[in-house]
């Protein structure tokens, strides 16, 4: 039974009990939280690894760096923070020879980021078009909507959010340039939709905002680069956990872990294995774990979350 005693943060950690149960951090272990955010998961992990453990937090957002100072002041273990993209931060830690026992990813944006209206992540507030998790990064939402060719915007809406009306929304965005605020973008999206799609469940701009945010923050490229790094550096017996919020993220995690768990890649028609590859991973959450009805009722933002965890074979537990 996992007891949840985290301090109040603005971001409620999703699937927190499941993360702790499945990664099972032990006293003295080293944990990397690649998406520190409000530090909700980190605090629980820190409690588990205790005084002899080390927790390394990573986040590209300076607001997370501020939060880290508060969490570190109360944590029992050694704490360290890297403000960087998780792919480059992991490469730095590999170069230092860090060999973690647990690596956690909790993809996407935090509630702190969504609720900071001035950062432009939300279609519910009128704000400058920004959406950068790292405010020092070069590309902003304003640049995407005002500078990208119409075809590239449409492609992003299709690829990153399955937007059926990608072409007409992209056309309207280009016609309405220059766009400077989130409200102007919401209006352009509405105009680009057929009347039947303007009203219905949820805000019709939701998918466009998701797609532009993913493009601005190179979210999928970062995941593709970081998963192999995290897996390589993990100690034998180490656990890799990832929480996804949409199918583009989850598909990557699922495939990545399934490939490591499969081992042999020979075509099924071959009578004997020729590749000689052995499984490197044991899947601990086949199919993934989703929030319980209780968590959904308490934290509706957890609705689309799915947790996958795998153990790297080769430790004492094989």
Ligand X SMILES: C[S@@+](CC[C@H](N)C(=O)[O-])C[C@H]1O[C@@H](n2cnc3c(N)ncnc32)[C@H](O)[C@@H]1O
Q: Whose CA is closest to 87, among 101, 107, 109?
A: 107
Q: Is 11 in the site for ligand X (CB under 6 A)?
A: yes
Kindly state the smallest distance separating residue 20's Cβ from ligand X, in Å: 12
Candidates 32-40, 115-123, 142-150, 284-292 — which segment interacts with ligand X by CB under 6 A? 32-40
Least CB distance from residue 192 to ligand X, whole Å? 28
Residue 222 binds ligand X, judged by CB under 6 A: yes
* Residues 64/40, Cβ–Cβ less than 8 Å: no
**Residue with smaller CB distance to ligand X, 90 or 169:** 90
Q: Does 23 bind ligand X (CB under 6 A)?
A: no
DSSP 3-state of 283: strand
Q: Annotate each residue in 280-299 with x if it binds ligand X (CB under 6 A) or - if it does not, as one string.
A: --------------------
120 part of the interface to ligand X, by CB under 6 A? no
210 counts as binding ligand X under rule CB under 6 A:
no
Give the burial class of 278: count Cβ atoms within 10 A of its Cβ; 0-12 exposed, 13-18 middle, 19 or more buried.
Answer: exposed
Our finding on whether 148 is near ligand X (CB under 6 A) is: no
Report, in angstroms and rounded to the nearest whole number, the Rg of the chain calculated over CA atoms.
21
Closer CB to ligand X, residue 61 or residue 295?
A: 61
Give me the DSSP letters along 69-101: HHHHHH-SSEEEEEES-HHHHHHHHHHHT---S
Q: Which residue is nearest to ligand X (CB)?
A: 37
Query: Is residue 229 a contact residue for ligand X (CB under 6 A)?
Result: no
Residue 41 makes contact with ligand X by CB under 6 A: yes
CB of 224 to ligand X, least distance (A): 11
Q: Is the distance from CB of 100 to CB of 237 less than 8 angstroms?
A: no
First to last CA, the chain: 24
Q: Which of 17, 22, 13, 18 is nearest to 3 (CA)?
A: 17
Residue with tokens 């998780």: 86
Check residue 59 for interaction with ligand X (CB under 6 A). yes
Q: Which is nearer to ligand X, 4 or 265 (CB)?
A: 4
Q: What is the largest CA-CA distance in the chain?
A: 62
Shortest gap between Cβ of 12 and ligand X (angstroms)? 8
| Residue with smaller CB distance to ligand X, 29 or 219 | 219
Burial class (CB in 10 A: 0-12, 13-18, 19+), 195: exposed
- For ligand X, the binding residues (CB under 6 A) are 9, 11, 13, 35, 37-41, 58-61, 64, 85-86, 106, 108-110, 133, 222
């Amino acid at each position: 039974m996992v007891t949840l005693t985290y301090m109040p943060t603005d971001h409620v950690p999703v699937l927190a009990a499941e993360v702790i149960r499945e990664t099972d951090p032990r006293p003295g272990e080293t944990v990397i939280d690649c998406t520190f955010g409000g530090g909700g998961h980190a605090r629980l992990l820190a409690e588990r690894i205790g005084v002899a453990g080390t927790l390394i937090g990573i986040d590209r957002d300076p607001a997370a760096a501020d939060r880290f100072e508060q969490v570190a002041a109360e944590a029992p273990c050694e704490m360290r923070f890297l403000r960087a993209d998780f792919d480059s931060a992991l490469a730095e830690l590999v170069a230092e020879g860090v060999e973690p026992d647990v690596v956690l990813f909790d993809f996407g944006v935090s509630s702190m980021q969504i609720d900071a209206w001035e950062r432009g992540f939300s279609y519910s507030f009128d704000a400058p078009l920004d959406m950068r998790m790292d405010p020092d990064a070069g590309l902003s939402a304003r640049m995407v909507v005002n500078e990208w060719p119409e075809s590239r915007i449409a492609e992003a809406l299709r690829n990153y959010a399955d937007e059926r009306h990608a072409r007409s929304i992209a056309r309207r965005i280009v016609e309405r340039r220059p766009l400077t605020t989130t409200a102007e973008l919401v209006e352009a999206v509405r105009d680009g939709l057929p009347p039947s799609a303007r009203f219905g469940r949820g805000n019709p701009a939701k998918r466009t905002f998701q797609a532009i945010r993913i493009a601005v923050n190179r979210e999928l490229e970062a995941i593709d680069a970081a998963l192999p790094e995290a897996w390589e550096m993990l100690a034998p017996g180490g656990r890799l956990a990832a929480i996804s919020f949409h199918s583009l993220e989850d598909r990557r995690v699922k495939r990545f872990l399934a490939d490591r768990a499969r081992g042999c890649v020979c075509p099924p028609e071959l009578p004997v294995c020729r590749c000689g590859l052995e499984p490197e991973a044991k899947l601990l959450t086949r199919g993934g774990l989703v929030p319980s009805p209780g968590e959904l009722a308490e934290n509706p933002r957890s609705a689309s979350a799915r947790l996958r965890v795998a153990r790297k074979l080769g430790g004492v537990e094989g």
